[in-house]
Amino acid sequence: MRLVLLTLILWFSAVAAALGATSLPVDTGRVEASLLSSHHRVVPGQTFQIALKTELDEKWHTYWRNPGDSGEPVQISWTLPETLSAGEIVWPLPAPIPTGPIINYGFEGAPLFPVAFTVADDAPIGSVIEVQADVYYLVCYDVCIPEDGTLRLVLQVAEMAELNDGNAAEIVAAIDAAPHEMDVRAAMQAQGEALSLQFADLPDGDFSDAYFFPYDDTVLVHSDPQTVTVGSDGVRIDTTASFGWGDGFSQLQQGVLAFDLNGDRTGRIVTVNPGGALLAIGAVGDGSDTAIRSAFPLLGAILGAFIGGLILNLMPCVFPVISLKALSLAKSAHAERAVARREAWAYTAGIFATFVLLVGLLLSVKATGAALGWGFQLQNPVVVGLLALLLFAVGLNLIGAFEISGGAYQGTGATLAGKGGLTGSFFTGTLAVLVATPCTAPLMAGAIGYALAQPAMVSIIVFLALAAGFAAPFVVLAYAPGLLMRLPKPGPWMVRLREVLAFPMFAAALWLVWVVGNQAGVDGIAVVLIAMLAFALAVWLLQRRGVWRIAGAAAIVLALALPFTSRTTPAVASVDLATDAWSPERVAELRAEGRAVFVDFTADWCVTCKVNERLVLKTDAVQQAFLDTDTAFLVADWTNKNDEIARELEAYGRAGVPLYLYYAAGDNSVRAEVLPQILRTDLVIETLKGTR
């Protein structure tokens, strides 16, 4: 019996050798492991490949060199004769494998781990090389099991190398598919908990789902999402820094950048300079509603900005201010044309100066790393309060509560804007820009998002195009003689119109007070209302004489000082029962539950957002569709500054709200579907029901 066994074993060994350099497989439990050699006969001095092949039971996984949040890498320890030396494992491309909130980097299926071997020059011809591999891996599904085994392979040193075709093909395919080193420019920087990685000079491919697997396990928090921003010249990944940054990284770091190429997942080994200067990744596009930009990014943005500027004139928040300008133009229309032209230019200058100032401010703040977007000036209750006061004052002036005489009370924007002449025109421009920002016309959203992701010069050019569009109607009016003459002649109607225009002003002030209320609570509203009262009192006092006027001046000071006492209060849920506050984690949670998710990026000062909410999202039909499809409604409220929201907006190529995202149920793609900025009821319902 023993003899039979022995014969069998010998026979099996012989067959194994004859089959060509494939070890007998070892079943370690959840994994069947074997060694494959590219050659069964090797020559002295030759380099060839041996791969560990692991066939995993379905749903089980093993781990990459950095296993992620838990786990342990696949390990091979070689026992070799002196005539053979082993290289490093060529690691296959890992995948992020989630288990609850934990993310691991590993493999499923049948990953191959090729290793290069070199035969010594003095290996005697005809000798036999015995290769032994002690393999160890942790294999996990719902539980983790460490498995190990010993694999053996016998090769012959010969005068002619002989390939094992099947093994060689399999190994070559594995090496081809594995990430290779690639010389890209890469840098990363951690600021507090925020980690930003930038990659430029990238190969062809789709990087919208890019993912970075660091070799070192202390670079980033594996369980946190990696937010990708694709630019024309590179890619940025934003995620969370891990504790390795506590002491900083003194050495270059390596890792694998995974992306899609022709529909297949692939990766490159990249070397990243920690703390290196961040790279410009160029124009940001999200590939959805950016047709103009992808063709001629800069020209498209300039054109979009110009048209956006034109449309901005019709926005409800700007209209009252614009109407002021229209009034003054009507006044001078029939006087000297030169005056009308000078005023139009002064108005334009005011618009340009204010835009440049705002953009400059925004860019310099952004340069310090703060996440800000367009409309940032309205995220501060002090500014909103002052604007409300200003609009209230302009309203009072329009309705005739006080007149500006000879610049006695100059110093406030209101009086300046209300004032005739060049200074007045200039400050009307300023005021128009300030109140226009929350109404950022839909066309401008893309352009502004593009502009803010650009080098400073390009940002400024795009914003100047916006300013030009905004100012253009008045310049055109001033230079087209026919048009100007067609305006009705000045007369008593102008006083009426002026008085009527006071009401949209008051309405705009009311809206801003409401915004303050959402930012700073009831106390914030009270402060602004008291400031308005003080201002109204001041207006009355200043028309008296003597000591009253001093009291009036004091009241003005009080009115202006009050809004500065507003403090942002933490957001109180302004959403009803059916909605949740947005966070990337909440989205992940809900999607993990298999639910569809809709995210409404909004702000109280964003008129487009409010209109969409009132006319579409909060309607019964749409709400019913949310209930019917069990779609979660998440609200990302950007009324106050919020870096996380700003980053998400940026990830979708936007610098401001609104942004509407839809993640279909059971769809695993990382990026959501982007809905248009002007919502329609049927479009939302069809999106939710998947019939679009």
CB proximity list for 323: less than 8 A, separation 6 or greater: 501, 504
Q: From residue 46, give the alpha-carbon distance in Å to each of 25, 120, 157, 596.
A: 26, 8, 10, 57
Residue with Cβ nearer other proteins (77 or 669): 77
Residue with Cβ nearer other proteins (139 or 462): 139
At 590, list the tokens.
Answer: 């809900």
State the residues that interact with other proteins by CB under 8 A.
69-72, 99-102, 104, 138, 140, 142-146, 217-218, 221, 223-224, 243, 246, 570-573, 580-581, 583-586, 588-589, 592
Spatial contact of 330 and 496, defined as CB atoms under 8 Å apart: no
Residue with Cβ nearer other proteins (181 or 585): 585
Residue with Cβ nearer other proteins (145 or 422): 145
As a whole number of angstroms, the distance between CA 475 and CA 341 comes to 7
Spatial contact of 609 and 319, defined as CB atoms under 8 Å apart: no
Residue with Cβ nearer other proteins (84 or 219): 219
- What minimum distance in Å lies between the beta carbon of 600 and other proteins? 15
- What minimum distance in Å lies between the beta carbon of 366 and other proteins? 23
As a whole number of angstroms, the distance between CA 336 and CA 333 comes to 7
Residue with Cβ nearer other proteins (295 or 572): 572
- Helix, coil or strand: residue 226: coil
Residue with Cβ nearer other proteins (144 or 327): 144
- What minimum distance in Å lies between the beta carbon of 50 and other proteins? 24
Closest C-alpha among 642, 639, 671, 672 to residue 658: 639
Residue with Cβ nearer other proteins (162 or 644): 644
- What minimum distance in Å lies between the beta carbon of 240 and other proteins? 9
At 273, list the tokens.
Answer: 């300079």
- Helix, coil or strand: residue 529: helix
For the chain, the straight-line distance linking the first and the last C-alpha, in angstroms and rounded, comes to: 73
Residue with Cβ nearer other proteins (143 or 295): 143
- What minimum distance in Å lies between the beta carbon of 99 and other proteins? 5
- What minimum distance in Å lies between the beta carbon of 69 and other proteins? 4
Kindly tell me the sign of the dihedral angle through the C-alpha atoms of 460, 466, 472, 475: negative
Spatial contact of 396 and 402, defined as CB atoms under 8 Å apart: yes
Residue with Cβ nearer other proteins (174 or 632): 632
Distance from the Cα of residue 348 to its chain's centroid: 33
Residue with Cβ nearer other proteins (71 or 385): 71
As a whole number of angstroms, the distance between CA 380 and CA 638 comes to 11
Q: From residue 275, give the alpha-carbon distance in Å to each of 26, 190, 216, 279, 593.
A: 46, 8, 16, 11, 38
- What minimum distance in Å lies between the beta carbon of 223 and other proteins? 6
As a whole number of angstroms, the distance between CA 274 and CA 278 comes to 10
Residue with Cβ nearer other proteins (146 or 275): 146
- What minimum distance in Å lies between the beta carbon of 143 and other proteins? 4
Pure H helices in 296-380: 297-312, 319-333, 337-367
- What minimum distance in Å lies between the beta carbon of 571 and other proteins? 6
Spatial contact of 635 and 575, defined as CB atoms under 8 Å apart: yes
CB proximity list for 235: less than 8 A, separation 6 or greater: 198, 199, 200, 202, 207, 210, 228, 229, 281
- What minimum distance in Å lies between the beta carbon of 72 and other proteins? 6
- What minimum distance in Å lies between the beta carbon of 270 and other proteins? 21
Residue with Cβ nearer other proteins (101 or 690): 101
At 531, list the tokens.
Answer: 């400031």
- What minimum distance in Å lies between the beta carbon of 588 and other proteins? 8
With helix as H, strand as E and coil as C, how does 165-210 read? HHHHHHHHHHHHHCCEECCCEEEEEEECCEEEEEEECCCCCEEEEE
As a whole number of angstroms, the distance between CA 265 and CA 109 comes to 15
- What minimum distance in Å lies between the beta carbon of 241 and other proteins? 11
At 206, list the tokens.
Answer: 């789709």
As a whole number of angstroms, the distance between CA 260 and CA 206 comes to 5
Spatial contact of 152 and 82, defined as CB atoms under 8 Å apart: no
Spatial contact of 608 and 552, defined as CB atoms under 8 Å apart: no
Residue with Cβ nearer other proteins (99 or 273): 99
- What minimum distance in Å lies between the beta carbon of 218 and other proteins? 6
Count Cβ atoms within 10 A of the Cβ of residue 136 and give its class: 0-12 exposed, 13-18 middle, 19 or more buried: middle
